[in-house]
Amino acid sequence: MELGKTKIRYIKEEEFLSYLDWLTRFKNPINNLLRVSEKIITKNCEEPKFNKKKVSELSFFQKIKLAKIIWEKSLDNLINIPKNKQTKLKDFLIFEEIQTFNTNYLISQIKSLEYEPIKSISSYEEIRNELFFPIDELVLHFANLTQKPIFLQRLLVKKKSKLTKEKLFKAKTKFASIKLLFLVEGITEEKIFPAFAQNEGFNFENYGIKLKAAGGKTQILKYYTDIRNLLKIPIFILLDADGTDILEDLNKILKSKDMVYLISKGEIEDILPHELILKTINNYYYLQGSINISDLERNEPMTKILNNLYKEKGFGEFHKAKFAEILQENIKSSADTSQEIKKILDLIRNK
């Protein structure tokens, strides 16, 4: 494949934002890079045209090289970046990955692909410099977005820091942003646990806790299986009460630094204080109606109770994600955090 004869379509702003999201996700950084490269080639290479099958026939490094050409030309077209500009953000990302991931594992993964330019390279920093796309000026380009994605807010904080590369790497764990991965099943836990933690006097971000929703019990098992050898940091896994089969499978492969907690009953909604649920609903739907504490004290799963109550009271359809959003705004005092949630937070804080 002659890269000089390649005809491209410039990457659009919204596509860059999507690719930035993928490149900075809390997953194997090499796999993230590969996924983005394949997307870029499929969408933005016009001649020769690539479908998924043709892309799969390219070697790993052909994909990276072609995608990098498209990325850099598109970036120049969008922002007009001066050549050889220092990339401070790159140093932060390398540092974070070295602190968080087992970089020997990543190096062996890349070296097994037998790419000539990196055969003599032994450091993760040099390998990453050779492979990854420039993102510094792109991050700043998106700084004025009104609704910034969380990943973009994080990168902007790093970009504006006054730490030099030398000070950063000497600092070791003081500036490591992630010290524990908190793996949960769904979006409800992802939304409400930071609010509960803040209510109990500790901030997930300040403590270096990365909260990740896997998308269900089976996805937790898959995600943990994929990432357990890649991470240096401990992993705390939270499962619903019906996750006993998954717990059994996890225990077979669980590393000594990691921990699984099975909640005592039902789902996360079943261990919320009834008073907090009552306050949340009545504060939000006060113009449409209200509920009593007795409405919540039925011998049924809480999500079923809430589904029925929403219909009975004319609140519309019950959505777990929406309910989690309004619930977190009502977590104000220690009484709003159940004893079991306090126990989970203590385990995380002391891990």
Q: Tell me, what amino acid is at 257?
A: K
Mean of all residue pLDDT scores within the chain: 85
Distance CA 192, CA 189 (A): 5
pLDDT for residue 327? 96
User: Is residue 295 assigned to a domain?
Assistant: yes
With respect to residue 306, please indicate whether it lies within any of the assigned structural domains. Answer: yes
Query: Dihedral sign, CA of 184, 190, 194, 195?
Result: negative
Which of residues 9 and 83 earns the better pLDDT score?
9
| pTM for the full predicted model | 0.70
Q: Are residues 240 and 316 in the same domain?
A: no
Centroid of chain to Cα 118: 29
In a domain, residue 171? The reply is no
Structural domain count of the chain: 3
Tell me: do 148 and 9 sit in the same domain.
yes
pLDDT tens-place string over residues 207-235: 889 899 999 999 999 999 988 888 888 99
307-320 residue pLDDT tens:
999 999 999 999 99
Lowest mean pLDDT among 107-116, 193-202, 237-246, 292-301: 107-116
Q: Single out the residue in 126, 157, 188 at which a domain terminates.
A: 157
pLDDT of 71 over the 70 cut: yes
* Cα angle: 304, vertex 276, 333; to 5 degrees: 155
- The answer to whether 205 and 175 have CB atoms below 8 angstroms apart is no
Per residue in 174-207, pLDDT (tens digit) is 444 678 999 999 999 999 999 999 999 888 888 8
pLDDT band of residue 173 (cuts 50, 70, 90) is very low
Structural domain containing residue 151: 3-157
Both 287 and 332 in one domain: the answer is: yes
Q: Report the phi/psi class of residue 284: left, alpha or beta, with left for phi > 0 and alpha for psi in -120 to 50.
A: alpha
Burial (CB < 10 A; 0-12, 13-18, 19+), residue 280, is buried
What pLDDT score does 322 carry? 94
Mean pLDDT of the region 37-44: 94
Residue 81 is predicted with a pLDDT of: 57
Give the residue with greater pLDDT, 36 vs 111. 36
Question: Domain for residue 164, yes or no?
Answer: no
CATH number for the domain harbouring residue 246: 3.40.50
- Does 301 have pLDDT greater than 90? yes
pLDDT tens figures, 90-109: 777 777 788 788 888 888 87
Helix axes 150-160, 88-100, angle to 10 degrees: 110
- For residues 35 and 146, state if they share a domain: yes
User: Is the domain of 30 the same as that of 143?
Assistant: yes
**What count of residues does the chain have?**
351
Residue 48 pLDDT greater than 50, yes or no: yes
Q: For residue 232, what are the contacts with CB-CB under 8 A and spacing of at least 6?
A: 99, 100, 101, 102
Report the pLDDT averaged over residues 267-296. Answer: 94
Q: Which of 113-117, 129-133, 238-242 ranks highest by mean pLDDT?
A: 238-242
3-class secondary-structure state, position 3: helix
